[in-house]
Structure 1
């Protein structure tokens, strides 16, 4: 049984409120876990069944009829504090060959972190307020080796976000205690605040067929490519193209390289293992 998940609106700054709960935003992929009418399946947020990619979860799924909303993660402790590793999770997600799956489930086991309960024993719980659904989830779901409940706090959202920044985590979710669950709706009752890093970069070129700017920083002896910027407001994109209209340009392999370079400010989530910015967003052309 697939339920299209409720979505979160973005917010720039956290806040504290007794009317909300606060959870970590985990760096994984959204998942609906359904054990309904003796049929077990895990779905992505788009409704694609993927339970065969995560066989280590099967024996820990509740035997009763239940539908859970949560996040699939792979935890990495090689850098000290254990925290979700998105690249390792994607490696698991993209693996479809049975032999490789069984190897990776030992080397990079997944954890399903449940933060909401939508159905229980055939009863629709989505019209209940979140605070009641949390109480039911706490009572009805036991933590196991690969399925755990999301921890949350009340009121102290700003303090939680400060801790997230200190530990280099992805961000926080802010949810109204009285919020009902609306499938496939992006609601201001559910918010996310991401822990972005900010950096000044040089734009050395742009993609021809669709928006994409080549970002670079100074390396030891030359500029170092640190990724393609594919996000930014229409106004700031227009500002960039207007600025480089008179610059020297050379087209090669679907990219136009410019002289002089353009200095810009970006925000991004983190660095990948290969030294690229993850999901960079253009926020300012530096004058």
Structure 2
């Protein structure tokens, strides 16, 4: 039976952590959302945009190593670490690879862990209608414990305490879930909620500046509900390496525009090259300024698993 990729269930953003016996809390791992589809010992890995990433993570292609079910659909986050902490920049290095030799080298150079938090199907039986508590029990039954590659995300009864703990450790945040919730394919509602510690978002690049013919700063925007690209600030610092900036320089050349893509002209620090808004970055920042731009933005990575159309002001809710 060939398993068709689905759009995963998404949590809504919250500033208030719900409590009560019907809620559990989990660490929000800073990685790439990935569903693993296994049928007849063949595994496919597909991200939330329904892009196939099977070749990028060959260590997950032997399902019997980590799962006792002969067929399954797992939902989780692929995570890479740097200095003992999840690093979005490191996982993007793996996710962006396309050449077989580079992928083989990266398996040992940038190891990943698949942090699994849900199961949608097992042994050809769909379980999305079951309450989360039962799906969690099923995960415990099918994921093999004595291997490091695939780990079950631990659940905690006290969301406030977990949020305090992950804040102290500098992690991304927590996800709160009702134990009676079914899994909503291509759904998003308050039965799953996320509380993030740091302010970050996905933004589209609408312009760049250069230094010595290499891109050194990005003008970033989000789409409004009306479809207009709203300027939210520029960023030139963060996790990008010299190689990243050089590669970005080559990618923007064919995207150059003669007109401003933003709905209003941004304040310019130096000569700016406008580009078609097709490239996406993840950016962290301290807070919003009164003028509606990011204060102290820092680029975490160039991303491929988010489309420009998803870079909307909905992220701010």
TM-score normalised by L of structure 1 = 0.72
Q: State whether structure 2 residue 186 is matched by structure 1 residue 151.
A: no
Evaluate the alpha carbon distance shift between residue 187 and residue 269 of structure 1 in structure 2; reply closer, same or farther with a 3 A threshold. farther
Give, in whole Å, the separation in 1 of the partners of 2:163 and 2:51: 32
Give, in whole Å, the separation in 2 of the partners of 1:269 and 1:137: 38
Give, in whole Å, the separation in 2 of the partners of 1:188 and 1:267: 29
Q: For residue 153 of structure 1, report the CA deviation from its aligned partner.
A: 0.4
State the Cα RMSD in Å: 3.8
Corresponding residue pairs, total: 243
Q: For residue 230 of structure 1, report the CA deviation from its aligned partner.
A: 2.4
TM-score normalised by L of structure 2 = 0.65
Is the partner of 2:294 in helix, strand or coil? strand
Q: Do the aligned residues in 2 keep the contact of 1:195 with 1:269 (CA within 8 Å)?
A: no
Q: For residue 37 of structure 1, report the CA deviation from its aligned partner.
A: 3.4
Evaluate the alpha carbon distance shift between residue 226 and residue 251 of structure 1 in structure 2; reply closer, same or farther with a 3 A threshold. closer
Q: For residue 248 of structure 1, report the CA deviation from its aligned partner.
A: 9.8
Q: State whether structure 2 residue 233 is matched by structure 1 residue 230.
A: no
Give the match for residue 24 of structure 2. 21
1:254 to 265, 270, 274: 274
Unpaired stretches in structure 1, ≥5 consecutive residues: 199-209, 215-224, 256-260, 282-287
Give, in whole Å, the separation in 1 of the partners of 2:301 and 2:9: 31
Q: Do the aligned residues in 2 keep the contact of 1:113 with 1:150 (CA within 8 Å)?
A: yes
2:34 to 19, 31, 34: 31
Evaluate the alpha carbon distance shift between residue 91 and residue 252 of structure 1 in structure 2; reply closer, same or farther with a 3 A threshold. closer
Unpaired stretches in structure 2, ≥5 consecutive residues: 209-215, 234-263, 276-288, 303-310
1:57 to 53, 60, 66: 60
Evaluate the alpha carbon distance shift between residue 197 and residue 213 of structure 1 in structure 2; reply closer, same or farther with a 3 A threshold. farther
CA radius of gyration, larger in:
1
Give the match for residue 118 of structure 1. 120
1:143-174 superposed Cα distances (whole Å, 9 cap, x missing partner): 322111111101x1111111122111111101
Give the match for residue 177 of structure 1. 179
1:109 to 108, 111, 118: 111
